Chain A
């Protein structure tokens, strides 16, 4: 124990003595860790977003396709599907994308039946400030917090949005908060009647049907039954979407990884030798230590501590940098490469999510190979004749 403390003190002194090497090394490792962590944190954060968002989706979503495109669906299907076995509820939903020319942006307008006995099962109805919609009151909206922030609006404000040629005045009565950033970024909730007006959905028709099952695991069976009933239906299965989404993410992350790899490898090959190697001054020093009776193990242990401390700081700096880059700066550039949707969600902010496990894995991933690799040249030097090292000929 005393030996370790003394060697650690010596190692810390060495990293201070070799400040240039220490800074170059720490900086390089920080950079590498940053690149890895930024990709990892961003993919993980978005994967989490999606899964949270998907959790709010109905088990099955039924759309009607006409000539391959989603078309409005008749509400007459609601009782007929509800009559099928294994189905607990069917709701006709009115929602859609609404383009606002003045903002050059899309909102997602969602019609909500706010009557207490028919609370929306799938609306992200966690109201942060203000209140939820009153049933049967026209002209009220509840807006996603992030969207309101982006537009500079607050509870009590009114907005006028064009419907056809006339403007319609809407009163913001509440802001909703959600653990899912995508929800709050562009969603406006309003009464079903108002939504029909905005989206030009005639009475008796709906955008799609939200179906909830008594046993969500039997989604495939239920979907087949609905498809038999409704030949022109397209049925989206939540569990299937989750899987497909994971696959896309893995592929995109993989492609980016593949793009980063050659750069990283080139960088590492160039830097590795300089960073992990021992310079002439260090060889002399190893020679001096061995000459005065240090064991090879003592030299290596001191070296290990020195490099481990540097690597730990470098790795942590890289991770903190990546955290700030992804969650505070919204990953400029990187998000576009990975997902290409920053224009769709101008105020997209992934919720900060880092687990201790992720940090540990990253730190180990960077530290272990580096520290291990850096021991090899030190070990080679410290097994030479000490006097030859002192002369600089070994």
Chain B
């Protein structure tokens, strides 16, 4: 019915300056973007161009110096800490460039960690976790402490954890950096399935296997903190 799809991720005027001691580093300059709901977009750009910073700001994990972010029509930038935690918990799933796994815990424990403050994962989530572990070839590692896993295995763990929350928006930071081609295909297949469920996907990457995949709906390029047109 809706000819023009709703905008799931909208940002305007996003600027982020880091204070590196006395030197200031501008990681984002007046970024504006609008990603329609149910689409799969990628952001590419050279190393240090601000991709991680952009995703962090969009996910409510970094406070921007200026600008505003709306997720599914709801502004999140000026929310208080408590409500931003809720956004991170329920509004977005994020795959971290460096995985953000907790060392000393097993793979399975890491996957279910977001559910601890709720008193533990519901059975449906446990079943889904088993399914995804199976799909990504990690079933045998469920009880293995994460620090013993390879980089690619940890990357897949980070992806599974982001998916388990069932968030409508998925932000993936370099999700293929440590993956072989077979696993890249597995991931893109899965992302396409999620898109079919109506979820919105935004991945940063400098991986041409991902950028050039024909199933990607839209492409942005970030250079030195600004969107290149």
A residues near B, CB below 8 A?
A: 1-3, 5-7, 10, 13, 17-18, 281, 285, 287-296, 298, 383, 385-388, 390
B104 adjacent to chain A (CB < 8 Å): yes
Kindly provide the distance from the CB of B80 to the nearest chain A CB, expressed in whole angstroms.
Answer: 10
* Given A7-B116, A285-B102, A293-B96 contact (CB < 8 Å): no
B residues near A, CB below 8 A?
A: 52, 56, 61-63, 81-82, 85-86, 88-90, 94, 96, 98, 100-105, 109, 113-114, 116-120, 161, 165
* Contact B119 A292, beta carbon cutoff 8 Å: no
* Given A2-B119, A387-B62, A388-B62, A293-B100 contact (CB < 8 Å): no
* Contact B81 A387, beta carbon cutoff 8 Å: no
* Contact A291 B61, beta carbon cutoff 8 Å: yes
Bound: A5/B120 CA distance, A: 9
Contact of A3 among B63, B90, B117 (CB under 8 A): B117
* Given A290-B85, A385-B62, A387-B56, A295-B117 contact (CB < 8 Å): yes
Residue in B52, B62, B101, B117 whose Cβ sees the most chain A Cβ within 10 Å: B117
Bound: A316/B88 CA distance, A: 40
Bound: A298/B161 CA distance, A: 19
* Contact B61 A293, beta carbon cutoff 8 Å: no
* Contact B105 A6, beta carbon cutoff 8 Å: no
* Contact B88 A390, beta carbon cutoff 8 Å: no
* Contact B81 A294, beta carbon cutoff 8 Å: no
* Contact A3 B102, beta carbon cutoff 8 Å: no
Bound: A3/B119 CA distance, A: 4
Kindly provide the distance from the CB of A170 to the nearest chain B CB, expressed in whole angstroms.
Answer: 71
Bound: A5/B117 CA distance, A: 9
Contact of B114 among A285, A292, A387 (CB under 8 A): A292
* Contact A2 B100, beta carbon cutoff 8 Å: no
* Contact A6 B85, beta carbon cutoff 8 Å: no
Contacts of B114 in A (CB 8 A): 292-294
Bound: A372/B218 CA distance, A: 51
* Given A292-B161, A390-B100, A298-B117 contact (CB < 8 Å): yes
Main secondary structure, interface of A, reads: helix
Contacts of B105 in A (CB 8 A): 13, 17
Contacts of B96 in A (CB 8 A): 291, 390
* Given A383-B81, A387-B52, A387-B62, A292-B118 contact (CB < 8 Å): no
* Given A291-B94, A291-B96, A293-B86, A6-B61 contact (CB < 8 Å): no
Kindly provide the distance from the CB of B96 to the nearest chain A CB, expressed in whole angstroms.
Answer: 7
* Contact B120 A2, beta carbon cutoff 8 Å: yes
* Given A296-B82, A385-B63, A387-B62, A291-B119 contact (CB < 8 Å): no
For the complex of A and B, 3 pairs with smallest distance between CB atoms: A293-B89, A2-B119, A17-B104
Bound: A13/B100 CA distance, A: 18
Extra contacts besides A292-B113, A293-B90 (15): CB < 8 Å: A5-B119, A6-B119, A7-B116, A13-B105, A13-B109, A290-B88, A291-B88, A292-B89, A293-B85, A293-B86, A293-B165, A296-B82, A385-B61, A385-B63, A387-B52
Q: Can you spell out 21 A-B residue pairs with CB atoms less than 8 angstroms apart?
A: A3-B117, A3-B119, A6-B116, A6-B118, A6-B119, A13-B105, A17-B105, A288-B102, A290-B85, A290-B88, A292-B88, A292-B89, A292-B114, A293-B85, A293-B90, A294-B89, A298-B116, A383-B81, A385-B56, A387-B61, A388-B62
Contact of A296 among B85, B98, B165 (CB under 8 A): B85
Residue in A5, A18, A294 whose Cβ sees the most chain B Cβ within 10 Å: A294
Bound: A386/B61 CA distance, A: 5
Beta-carbon nearest neighbor of B145 in chain A: A17
Kindly provide the distance from the CB of A164 to the nearest chain B CB, expressed in whole angstroms.
Answer: 79
